[in-house]
Amino acid sequence: MKPGFLIFSLLISFTLLAQDELYKTELVLERVEGFAANDRIEDLLINKGLVWIASKKGIRSYNNSTYALDNVTEFNNAIAVAVGRTGDVYSAYADNSLYKNKQRIFKLPSDSIRFTDIEIFKKKIWIGTNKGLYVINADSGKLLDKYTASNSALRSDYISFTFYSKSHRTIWIGTHRGVIELSDNRGSWKTEYKKDKMIAATENREGLWLLSDKELYLMVNGREFPQGLKKGLFEGEINDLALDSKNNLYVASDILTRYNPYKGRLEKYGENLGLVSSKCLSLASDKKGALWLGTADAGLYRIFTDSIQIENMRITIIPESTIDCFGENNASLKIEVNGGQGPYKYMWSPVSLRGDNPTNLKSGNYSVTVEDILGNRKFSSVSIEDPAKLINTVLSTEAVSRAGKKDGKASIEPSGGTPPYSIFWDNGEEGHEAKKLNYGFNYLTITDANGCEIIETVNVEKPKLLPELDIAKITVGQTLQINNLFFQADSSAITDESYEVLNEVYDFMAENTTVTIEIGGHTNSIPPDEYCDRLSSSRAKTVAEFLYNKGLVKDRISYRGYGKRKPIASNETVQGRKKNQRVEIKILRLGD
């Protein structure tokens, strides 16, 4: 399927007079319709005529010749993409997984570690993170090395980029304190520009370009040529840079600028393009001269230079802000009109919207027709989507080892919303796993990157009162004493605190439908024989009837009173008599 494009024109860079008509040379912005207006595009890669796109809904590829947009993987929240010489696609995700094509081959060891970049070099995957550099085998995913500031020449654990330079045939590791050039992971390491916070790298036929917070460097044949951070090159924080086929350097910050270092010419592009640029996470330039721009929450755009007549009216719908949390109505749109003759009239669907900057929008489809004073009209539309609802899945729980011990365990997996997630348990633990939980309900708060929050509970069970009643442990003929089973004095009436252990017996029988048991009642030797037989039989019957009433069939459960005939301790002591007064389970059959 070929995706369509909505063509947006932006502000004038400069004007020229040709054939008695006034023309503008301006940047023209195309929003790729195959992506939602609030899609997140973390990474872009141009490789052999294809644009590889790491998006909120996985890895996608765009063919510059056929205009086909294809899904490569459909795992959520892709962060980075790299393509090998044989066509293997490597992709990193917000859940800390790294895939080769559609098979996971590696996972970062901790929730606090996050991918920042990946690169392929010498049959290895070089993984940049916020806590060091990982090197794995490109085929198996086996971890080969991990480098941090404490065990290598790295001056910072934060890896800004991992970039393979074709002209140098080396890999460059940019950090928050300098950059390292490596020919392999075994050679000598030397950090350059130790005081620079490295931001991005790109390359063209002139050489390798390195951008830091202090300087723009051109690296050619082992020599460096500082280009200077020209005043006005950026505003706010620099997000990314790219070079086009004409050696123009594009810098995305709170504004988008184009700088030709050879001519010393700097151009800034309008306020509304700045709305897109300020959300930019990734830039890439293809061989046709188009600049691709991926945003944090406004989808994917393609930019190219064009000359158009000033009379032509064009309209631009730019997502000024998107919905932060599922179900909210805090999105807004910005309409930019170029050409035509004002004032302009805006006719929206839904009709309740007004003007060129509608706000407080919920998810849905929006369209606008703009009409100038001469009656010329232009139409455009956009779709705003809710972010996925933030939810939690309990993967596993483990009961406390004994009453009073806070060693219960739980593992959870949040999804939806906007990763990464912050997870705080009510006992002070953080992350996907908790290991110091009390029995009962434990509360945790999950917050995503947009500040969306849910409060969840995880139920940790008490230790079993009959841990030996386990189908993997019991044998035919085995007798198990039901501890924590109490009756009223000289009665077969069960006390309230006894139902917990009886429910364990029921759960076991309900789960193991081929097991047959006998309930046996016993007393001590003090009362008369007839009384002991009657009381022990009545108590065994009461336990059996409890199980019958919960739905177990009678032919699986028999009962019998043994009176004082089978003591397990001496009746000469108080403690011995207490042990003898008991109810037991005897395993009669396990299977068919």
**Rounded to the nearest 10 degrees, how much is the dihedral formed by the CA atoms of 406, 411, 414, 419?**
90
What number of residues does the chain have? Answer: 592
- Same domain, residue pair 425 and 496: no
Task: Assess if residue 300 is contained within a domain.
Answer: yes
Q: What residue type is 162 in one-letter code?
A: T
Q: At 570, list the tokens.
A: 């001496």
- Same domain, residue pair 192 and 226: yes
> What CATH number has the domain bearing residue 33?
2.130.10.10
- Same domain, residue pair 407 and 489: no
- Same domain, residue pair 452 and 487: no
Domain finish residue from 406, 427, 460: 460
Of 225, 339, 356, 246, whose CA–CA distance to 290 is shortest?
246
Residues of the chain with confidence (pLDDT) below 50: 1-25, 306-311
User: Which of the 8 DSSP states describes residue 530?
Assistant: H
Query: How many C-beta neighbours within 10 Å does residue 299 have?
Result: 26
At residue 51, the 3 state secondary structure works out as: strand
Contact 78, 58 (CB under 8 A): yes
Task: Assess if residue 558 is contained within a domain.
Answer: yes
Task: Assess if residue 349 is contained within a domain.
Answer: yes
Task: Assess if residue 18 is contained within a domain.
Answer: no
Helix H segments across 440-573? 499-511, 529-549
Structure confidence at residue 296 (pLDDT): 81
d(CA 61, CA 97): 20
- Same domain, residue pair 280 and 370: no
Structure confidence at residue 26 (pLDDT): 55
d(CA 178, CA 221): 20
- Same domain, residue pair 446 and 537: no
Q: At 537, list the tokens.
A: 């039989």
d(CA 70, CA 55): 12
Query: How many C-beta neighbours within 10 Å does residue 542 have?
Result: 19
Task: Assess if residue 5 is contained within a domain.
Answer: no
Task: Assess if residue 7 is contained within a domain.
Answer: no
Structure confidence at residue 2 (pLDDT): 36
Tell me: the pLDDT tens digits for 145-155? 999 999 998 99
> Total structural domains in the chain?
4
Across-strand partners of 364? Answer: 384
Task: Assess if residue 467 is contained within a domain.
Answer: no
Contact 525, 571 (CB under 8 A): yes
Q: At 134, list the tokens.
A: 């990982």
- Same domain, residue pair 202 and 250: yes
Structure confidence at residue 88 (pLDDT): 94
- Same domain, residue pair 197 and 338: no
Range list of β-strands (E), 264-299: 265-269, 280-285, 291-295
Q: Which helix (H) or strand (E) holds 536?
A: helix 529-549
Residues contacting 544, CB < 8 A, separation 6+: 519, 557, 558, 559
- Same domain, residue pair 208 and 282: yes
- Same domain, residue pair 415 and 494: no
> What CATH number has the domain bearing residue 509?
3.30.1330.60
Contact 11, 36 (CB under 8 A): no
- Same domain, residue pair 401 and 252: no
Domain finish residue from 332, 353, 384: 384
Tell me: the pLDDT tens digits for 501-531? 899 899 999 999 999 999 999 998 888 999 9
> What CATH number has the domain bearing residue 436?
2.60.40
d(CA 33, CA 132): 37
> What CATH number has the domain bearing residue 350?
2.60.40.1080
Q: At 158, list the tokens.
A: 């934060």
Structural domain for 98, as ranges: 23-309
Domain finish residue from 406, 430, 460: 460
Task: Assess if residue 424 is contained within a domain.
Answer: yes
Structure confidence at residue 154 (pLDDT): 92
pTM of the model: 0.61
Residues contacting 476, CB < 8 A, separation 6+: 587, 588, 589, 590
- Same domain, residue pair 401 and 368: no
